[in-house]
Every structure is written in C-alpha cells, then in structure tokens.
Amino acid sequence: MSILKYNIRNDILMLTDRLIKSTKLTEKGKTTTIADSGGLSLYITHTGKYWRLRYYISGKQQVISLGQYPILSLLEARQKQLEIKKQLQNGKNPMLEKKKINDWTFEKVAKLWLDNWQSDKSEKHVSTVKRRLEVDVLPKIGKTPIDEISTLVIVNLVKGVATRGALDVANRVLQKIGQIFRFAIANGYATTSPVLIKPSEILPTRKQTNLARIDEKELGELLQKVEAYQGTPVTRIAIKLMALTFVRTSELINAKWSEFDFERLRWDIPADRMKMKTPHIVPLSKQAISLLKSLHYVSGTGEYLFPSDLDCRKTPTMSNNTILRALKRMGYQGRMTGHGFRGLASTILHEQSYNHEHIEVQLAHSPRNAVSAAYNHALYLEQRAKMMQDWADYFRRAIYCLERK
C-alpha cells in the first residue's frame, strides 16, 4: 500500500484533434492553457503546443511535462496520463521516474544501439557509421537526455551537415538518428521519436544537370573504365587528374606548365584563373606527379598541359566538353560530370572524418570574408597535402577491391 496520497481529477474529456489543430499559437510573451481531463492540459506558447499533467502528492500540486504536440498526439498524451496514474497507485513519484529516463543521454543509447546493430555488419561499415556519429551527431546532442531532444534540434543538426555540401552524409545522419530513436523506444529509453521528417522535406535536391555524380560504391568501376577508355591518352590523363585534384573543369583544361613545381609537389593556380579570384594551391600526390610526367612527354614543349587538337589560334586548350563527352561514351551520361568529382571528394572525405575546413579550402569554396581571402590559398597546406595523398591512395584501393571481387 502506498504511503503517498495522490489525486488526479477526473473531468469530462474536452480536447479533440480538430480543436487542437485549429488552435493558433500565441503572440510572443503570451501563453494559454486548454484543459482536457484528469489534470491533462495543452500549454500553448508562441513556439509550440506542449502537454502538461497536474496531479497532487500529499496535498501538494505537481506539474509534469509530457511532450510536444503533434510529436505526442492526443491519444498518446492520454496514454501517458494513465501510465502516471499507475505509477502513483504503486507509490512511485512520476518526477523521479522521469528523471531516471532522462539519465539516458543520446550518447548512452547510441552506444547500446551500435553494439546491437553492428553484429552482422562489416568492420568498415561499422567504422564509418561510428565516425559519422562522433563527428556530426554526438558533439551536438550526445549529452542531452534522449527524451528531451526535439524535432527542431534534429532538423538544425542535419541542415548543418548539409550546408558544408555533404548532402549524402546529411541524409545518412538523419537515417541513423531515426534508427537510434526506434531502438530507444523499443527498449524503454525514450517514449517518442522526434525524427518525423523525411530528408526531402529539409534537404535541398542536388541539381542533376550540373552536379550529377555517381555513388562511392561505383567509383572503382568508373576508374577501371577510364583506364580502358579508347579515346586519346591525353583525355584519360585529364580525367584522372581531375579525379585526383578535384579542381573545376576550367581550372584543369587551362592549366599551364609554368604553374607546376614538381620538386615542391604543388600546383599554384593564379587568382585570375580561379572562380573566387584568389590564388589556389593544389598539393600533388605521387600519383598526380606520375601522370604529369607522362603528359609532359606529349605537351611539355608547349604552354598548356592540354592544348587543343583544333585551330590553336581560336581555341588554345582542350574543350570543356571533352571530359563530359568521354564520360558519356563510357556510359555515364546524366550520371557523372567532371564537376561530379568535386562532390564525390567532399562526401567521401567528410565521411572519412577529414577536417571540414581542410576540405573546404582544398575545394576553393568562397572565403567567408575579405581577410580570409588573403591567406586561404596557403591555409592548412601540410594537412591538405596529406589529405590529397590519402585521397589518391583511396583511388588505388577502390580499383584493387573491385579487381578482388
């Protein structure tokens, strides 16, 4: 028999879904409350609609928050009300019971989910998902009680990942968070899931015309097809260099031999050839140097790496459609462009947990302000050099793994 004396009023049901949906949010600084029954009410502010339950323990009024509408529906709020009534009947204090649940942070539950989920997954896949959580998710919501995480928090987190150009990563982050919440609900660590949105509802759609690109799993096959391409050796080298350096097409086809320093392993692109009108340094991997030395036998006596096969007085360099046509002949029309190597590099390097700033500088994206524009081209050069060599080695492994299948 409980020593706590409790009371929950039993009134006639007042709320309906239609009434709740039709009730507007209040003006900023004002609130309103609509009662249901048994102490359950809907507390309305300018930010949203929230469920509250009023009850008494030993004559003292207590108010507990149940969740936000519509994440927690009217039916689910009434079910929670019954659960709390049972807790009171069994001599338990709902506030303390809620605190026990809130001891389960997102990070704690995520670790339990990972232990359960990874049993039939490859080591590489597990490592990738773990890094994705550690880099993009846990720093934001890891220490938050899992039952206190709102939909808006999840939306802002996922959009933050997308703003750095990693749309695929953002999509997968949202999927994994949803899986963790379903695991939490099934095991009693959370009562509801805030992941009520689809990726298409919060993430931009990639423009297929300009940014079409293959998935990571198709990379090895593409590289093999480039190697076997029946076009000119110069075109093959151009595609390989674009993949290894992920510069823009115009920056590659207008490259001059005077911009390259084989001893220092770098390519210095002057400001007047860059989209953002600031100089750019491309650290060169061993593989890129090897390709450049092979190309030097063909075009090293001229000014440009990729001189035109046509009238040099009208078009001194390779056409910007040469790479696109080659990819089309290899069967990648509408699926891959020269620009696609930039998006592919951004996604894969982010997934492999390389520093976001290092990747952005290497992509030569727009500097944040005029001051950063003055030195961004040489920023993080040592780290970027290592990243570019790792990127080239990753290509070699992609082909090797495909050949082993």
Question: Which residues have a catalytic role annotated?
Answer: 248, 275, 339, 342, 365, 375
Helix (H), strand (E), coil (C) string for 243-266: HHHCCCHHHHHCCEHHHEECCCCE
Pull the structure tokens for residue 90.
Answer: 């069994």
Dihedral (Cα; 34, 37, 38, 39), 10-degree rounding: 0
29/45 Cα distance (integer angstroms): 8
∠ CA 139-144-145, rounded to 5°:
150
Which of 254, 236, 368 lies closest to 303, judged by CA?
A: 254
Comparing CA positions, the residue from 209, 218, 263 lying closest to residue 243 is: 218
The kind and range of the H/E element at 21 are helix 17-22
What are the angstrom distances between the C-alpha of 362 and each of 103, 263, 286, 374, 377?
42, 20, 17, 15, 8
Structural contact between residues 378 and 358, judged by C-beta atoms closer than 8 angstroms: no
- Given a contact cutoff of 8 angstroms between Cβ atoms, the answer to whether 242 and 323 are in contact is yes
Q: DSSP for 284-351, please give it.
A: --HHHHHHHHHHHHHHTTSSBSSB-SS-TTT--B--TTHHHHHHHHTT-TTT--TTHHHHHHHHHHHH
Distance of alpha carbon 364 from alpha carbon 371, whole angstroms: 15
CA atoms of 172 and 188, how far apart (whole Å): 24
CB 143 within 8 A of CB 105: yes
